[in-house]
Structure 1
Amino acid sequence: MIEPKHNPPQVPRWVAVLVLLACVVGGGYFLYWWAWGRPVSGARPPASARQQQAVPDSTTRPTDRTGRGEGFGRVGRTATPTPGVPRTSGSGIIESRDSVSVRSGDTIMRVYRIDGRDVYSFEYASVFGPTSDFRMAERIRWRALNWPDARRAAGVTDEQLQQLRDLGNAPQVAIPADQRKQLAELFQAWRAADAAARPEAERTLLAKLERAGQEAYGGTMAQRNGWARQVRSILSPEQQASLRLAEPPPQGR
């Protein structure tokens, strides 16, 4: 006996249209999310988050950060004013569990107690940072030394490359050793002073710290400008333009 053929049920046309429309809408939403909704690798966090990240932890140990100015966000927040000591915004002395921060103007001296001795760290920051000309000279030199393809495209010779190496890195803001010693002595005098003598000891320490920072910064800016001129004297204007516009090398090279 032959079984009768059964035709498959016909899907209504309106159902097919709905399924197709759902696919289009879903695909469009996925593309929108991919382009705009997901976190972008390397994206900068909001300004408020960046400001919080810039504040170092109070347990940070001293490192050679002279001239970079880290840590200014914490200084001056919870300082208790010393009677009789006039101060500008943020200036003063803050004592924490494992360190003492002394700020005057744009200069900070941090004193850490490590293995029974005081360790001093000096930092400087200013809204008037390196000039754009200096930053560009620094970038051009770095690319000439570290990007071989860009160096060849710019036509940098072996002699020029050696001159850039011999020039060394750009000068950094640094308080001279003799002034660092004087500041350490003034800090110890402030620490040992009694309540009556502390205001004067603090005034002396803050005044010396600000002067030392300003002198170091001013001297370094002059040295940096001279350093930038030397970079530009080694490379021709055409070579500088080529290095300035160079693309970074592919990853892994």
Structure 2
Amino acid sequence: MPKEGYVERFEKPIKSHVELHIEQGPVLESNNKDIGIVTGIVGVRWLKITFIGKQSHAGATPMNMRRDPVIPLAKTALKIRETALSYKEMVGTAGYIKVFPNVVNVIAGEATITADIRTLDLTDLENAVQKILRSAKMYAQNEKVGFNYSILQNKDPVICSQSVMQAIKQSTEELGYSYILLPSRAGHDTQNVAKITKDVGMIFVPSKGGISHSPDEWTEWEQAHKGVEVLKNVLIRLASNIKS
């Protein structure tokens, strides 16, 4: 294993890391800003929650004799949204739902939902996950259905270095570009590099319409050029600080 601050291909330690990326969201465009100075990359928890009920006929089974796993699933979907809204700067998504056997006239035997929870605050992240799981378990018990879960992804937040953020701010101001501070709610290579050096930072340029992971994803060439100019100046500034 390489020593802390080193990777096998380099003989000297990595002092700083700066990543230029499209925002992948609507904040810069909606605020009419050229540059986003990233304050940190959110932590992420992916949960897979499964409710196991009793598959039976939709017409022949009285309402009070059902063990329907879709009911706790639906309540959990709402709980994910409610929980995310109760914390500052948190987002929560129920992005995947699967019902078996997924037939119109059959009460499902099994229902699965995922939760994607993201925030910069690690304590809030952990608390939100526990709130969702406690509620999901309670919903299952109320409907007399089984409950289990697994954690599909577990990434802690990465806070950007104040020195790198300051270098980005100064470089942006020198170039006369407008900017805003914002967190990154998507994952980036910087999260992995932060295991080698804590002196990391990111520069965002606007995404047209806030669209990403789509054929319609686009950033204007002028905006991309501004990002490159800021990155160039930041690297020169950081390198000069090392020499001094």
Q: Does TM-score exceed 0.5, indicating one fold?
A: no
Q: Which structure's CA Rg is the greater one?
A: 1
Q: TM-score range by the shorter chain?
A: under 0.3
TM-score (norm 2): 0.26
Q: Which structure has more RCO (C-alpha within 8 Å, separation ≥ 6)?
A: 2
Structure with a larger share of its residues in strand: 2
Structure with a larger share of its residues in helix: 1
